[in-house]
Each structure stands twice: as structure tokens, then as C-alpha cells.
Structure 1
């Protein structure tokens, strides 16, 4: 089942009309319909909003459900979700099939790529490690530039966003607790 099909299925299970969910996530009903039909891809920010409003983890929309205790992800098996608009791809490094307290993710952010137009916050903590490239992290009113080999920790309750203002792709390991994906 595709991401769009899962959104549509879960939206129907929740009893939301297309317009109701679109209003909750601040998208047009036509754009949400295109996402459900697989004709458009949501930004990472919008994918999180949709999952939150459907009361599911983002990983539910990406993977099949089955509970496990351990899970191996080989390099060529990483499932990526690409947001063309935000020039960002995320790859889940674990599975929604696990009961876990953290969510490690690999981000690939093209030049000009960003988390979304605005800042967001949520309960929890985040840790970032830059594998290659550079990334500007905006926390409240302060910007910090992270370069290859740098790491950064912050409370997710602070308003935050990121942007690749560099000229090459940035790859980063991002750990979020509790899991939001």
C-alpha cells in the first residue's frame, strides 16, 4: 500500500472528510487528494502534520505493520521518502515494527533544502550528527551551522527548523525521542 493509500485509509477510519483533514493540516483539499492518489508528495513537515492528525507515526505511513524485538536494515534496504518541494529525503534506519523510545533517521538534504517554511516543536529530544556537508539549525532565534563531523542536541519543545544553505548535499543522522516517525 502506498503512502497516499495509507493516508486515505486511515483518514476514512478516523471519519475525516478530505476537506476536514486538509483544513487540519493546512493544505488544500485538492493537494491532499493528489497526495492520496500518488500524484504529489508531501513535504516532511506536512507528512508529520498528516500523521499527527491521523494519530499515527510517520513510519506507519511508510512501512508495513508487524511487531519485532530486533531489526536489521541493510544499506540497500533503507526506505526513503522524498519531498521534492523541500529538497529533502529521509530514510528510516529502524522499523515501525519495533516498540522503541527513539527514532534514528538518515536525512539527505540538497542545497536549498529545508524542513519547511516555518518552525515547529513537539515533546522530546533530538540529536543530529553531520556525515557530510553542512546544515544550519534554527533554534528559537539562534542559528547554528553544523559541518561534517559536528553533532548537536536540543530539546524538541524549542521552536526549530533546518536549512541546507551550502552548495552540496548534506547527509545527517538524526535521532528523535520519542519517535515521531
Structure 2
């Protein structure tokens, strides 16, 4: 992740924390992220993992993409090549934020790539959140509350993301999909 992205994430978290008049200790208790790590993230000196950002988003009751959203113009064209991915599972889980949530839109869209052997576990999101998965290349499994669902190119899947879930690629080829996260 670039230093600009780290700085933007840190600034957004600090703004939300300040608006809610939360100390770092209070934020740590809400998110289960250490006070030291939160301080490093706010200063832009640490590159937070996807899991850490989800913990912070869930603890604050905000969307994942609210940490990287910018002022929205009347139209948007994005190119994955120009977006720094967020990485997890030793770089085998890559997330490109295509369209973050905006004030009048309660969804966000990501391009996700699961390299062979990828296993990414996601904690439960805030109540009412749904995820829509659209696989366009490869094969993967999504495990929701210990129930696996295999998906391949051309298939889509919707589930309540306020349950623990896991993305797995046990094949020898990368799996690429789009993920839409809908907030109620």
C-alpha cells in the first residue's frame, strides 16, 4: 500500500474518532485493535491489513471503504492498474476498491483476486450487511458459518455478511471476482 493511502486511511480514522470524541483507548476497546497499532495507523506510519481495517470499520459501524473514499465527481472511471491493492494472506488476497460508499449510495464495489492457496477469513460485518460475489475467472469457495459454497466463472452468490465468512482458493489458478458490499 502506498504512503498516500496509509496517510488517507489514518486521517479518516482520526476524523471519525475525533467526531465521536473517542480516545485511542476507547477505540481500541471498540475494535479489538491495540492502541499502539491504532496510533501508528492514524499517523500513517503503519500499513494496516484488510482484517485490521474490517475490525476498525465494524467497531465504528462504518463501511470498509469509508477509510479511502474521496470527494465523488458526477462520473467516475477507474482502472485497476492505477489503484494500489490492499493485501492479506501474505499477498495472496488482493483487494482493489473500485467504488467506495458515498453519502447517497450504501454499497461499495471491489475487484478481488485470490491467488492459488489463498485463505482469507473475514470477521462478521455490522448487522444487515450483505455481500454479492460475481466470479469472472477461476474457481473459489466462500464459507459462511462453516458451510462451504463453491463458485466458478460465470456464477454469482449473495449472503448475509454479518456472519463469519472465509474466501478460499484451493486450485492452482488465480480466481478473480467482483464483490459488492451492501449496507442497510
Please give the range of the TM-score, normalised by the shorter of the 2 chains.
Answer: 0.7 to 0.9
Q: Does 2:106 correspond to 1:111?
A: no
RMSD: 2.9
TM-superposition CA deviations, 1:143-177 (whole Å, max 9, x none): 12222222212233444222233333321111222
User: Is the contact made by 1:67 and 1:98 (CA closer than 8 Å) also made in structure 2?
Assistant: no
| Cα 1:63–1:158 shift into 2, 3 Å | closer
Runs of 4+ in 1 over 4 A off after TM superposition: 117-121
Matched residues, number: 177
Match of residue 176 from structure 1: 181
Q: Does 2:15 correspond to 1:9?
A: yes
Greater mean alpha carbon deviation, residues 71-80 or residues 120-129:
71-80
TM-score by length of 2: 0.76
Question: Any unmatched runs of 5+ in structure 2?
Answer: 1-6
Match of residue 3 from structure 2: none
Instruction: Note the 1:56-75 alignment, pairs <5 A.
Output: 56-66=62-72, 68=74, 71-75=75-79
| Cα 1:31–1:13 shift into 2, 3 Å | same
Match of residue 53 from structure 1: 59
User: Is the contact made by 1:126 and 1:175 (CA closer than 8 Å) also made in structure 2?
Assistant: yes
Match of residue 130 from structure 2: 125
| Cα 1:102–1:66 shift into 2, 3 Å | closer
TM-superposition CA deviations, 1:9-42 (whole Å, max 9, x none): 3223322222221222112222222322333333
CA–CA distance in 1 between the matches of 2:78 and 2:117? 29
| Cα 1:161–1:77 shift into 2, 3 Å | same
2:155 alignment partner, one of 150, 159, 164: 150
Question: Any unmatched runs of 5+ in structure 1?
Answer: none
Q: Which has the higher helix share?
A: 2
Match of residue 37 from structure 1: 43
